[in-house]
Amino acid sequence: MIIIIKPNTEKARVTEFITDLEKTPGLQTHLVEGLHTTIIGLVGDTSKVDIDQLRTNDIVEEVKRVQEPYKNANRKFHPDDTIVDIGGIKIGGGHFQVISGPCSVECEEQICEIATRVRESGSTMLRGGAFKPRTSPYAFQGLKAEGIDLLLEAKKKTGLPIVSEVMDASHLPLFENVDVIQVGARNMQNFELLKELGHIRKPILLKRGLANTIEEMLMSAEYIMAGGNSNVILCERGIRTFETATRNTFDVSAIPVLKRLSHLPVVADPSHAGGINWLVEPLALAAVAAGADGLMIEVHNNPAKALSDGKQSLTPDEFDGVMKKIKALLAVDGRVIG
């Protein structure tokens, strides 16, 4: 971190400021006094330094970060890819997985039929929302505890590990047997929830917020990891832009950028990114080509009657077709699902 001191600042004030900075364990300062400019280089673990607080000091002209504000999620401090293990199913570090299933769990027949079909097509995990973050309070809110029970039923039938979204930390006891806990886009910056998820050891699928930068997403991962849970999977699911032709704008560049900045596995969700059924295939293939470690795809046995996100859901047959293309594209790179 570089702190630029205002011109003509008394030397005593600079000395006093440096003494203060050095009170933080692990931080060292280097003073550079030029003819017109004085700068202080701050080195060590600067992730806990409050840059805005430094800026409020009246002798400070400007503060510039030269190091990212996240440490645990940073590839600089952890050069090897993290591999998250979900009951023997590995993701990251060359392991590619496909998570698929309906937006919402609706009934036993629905979730079990979809689970059976997606497994036959090569999906390695089952998704399904039991607690749904809906824009309208009048829209279907999910089956809640019953939805989790139905997912466990489908897991028993198919052997597929299950992924489901938590919206409130008080619901966590219900997720005891859920294999991967999803943090939805709308909760990416629910910091109290992230802190709670840092205290457990279950894998967390962290979706990018609708209007959040890559750095903000990595800071949210940092919240979970700072609590001791390093099993974090990042998910690019499209962001809000001025474009209205698609539900969101799929930020394909976020995939290689995240993988460069962080060692965590990165998956992409082409269903929420595009919001339209026929867009899922091209976006999924783009994500694979961009180096994603996995995909999350919504599949419904009767999209026209789905209680949420039917428009973007693939039928099991369509999903099967997309999976064939995903496998073929992975093979170009010598990769396989699993």
Contact residues for ligand PEP, defined by CB under 6 A: 103, 129, 133, 184-186, 207, 237, 272
Residue 106 interacting with Mn ion (CB under 5 A) = no
Distance CA 297, CA 155 (A): 17
Quick one: what does residue 157 bind among ligand PEP, Mn ion, none, with the CB cut-off 5 to 8 Å set by partner type? none
* Structure token digits, residue 142: 């999910």
Out of ligand PEP, Mn ion, none, what residue 207 binds, judged by CB under 5 to 8 A for its kind, is: ligand PEP
Q: What is the dihedral of CA 106, 272, 174, 302, to 10 degrees?
A: 10
Nearer to ligand PEP, 63 or 274 (CB): 274
Is residue 254 within the footprint of Mn ion (CB under 5 A)?
no
In the list 103, 218, 224, 287, the residue contacting Mn ion (rule: CB under 5 A) is: 103
Specify the residue, 75 or 186, whose C-beta has the smaller distance to ligand PEP. 186
Instruction: Rank residues 122 and 133 by Cβ distance to ligand PEP and give the closer one.
Output: 133
Within 10 A of 46 (CB to CB), how many other CB atoms are there? 18
Question: Does 68 participate in binding Mn ion (rule CB under 5 A)?
Answer: no
Location of structure tokens 């990595």:
218
Does 206 participate in binding Mn ion (rule CB under 5 A)? Answer: no
Nearer to Mn ion, 3 or 267 (CB): 267
Longest pairwise C-alpha distance within the chain: 77
Count CB-CB contacts under 10 A for residue 250: 26
C-beta of 103 vs 255, nearer to Mn ion: 103
Residue 309 as a binder of Mn ion (CB under 5 A): the answer is: yes
Token couple for 227: 């609590």
Position with the least CB separation from ligand PEP: 184
Q: Does 5 bind Mn ion (CB under 5 A)?
A: no
265, 291 Cβ separation under 8 angstroms: no
Contacts of 299 (CB under 8 A, 6+ apart): 100, 101, 102, 114, 117, 118, 313, 314, 315, 316, 319
- Rounded least distance, CB 231 to ligand PEP, Å: 19
* Site residues (vs Mn ion, CB under 5 A): 103, 309
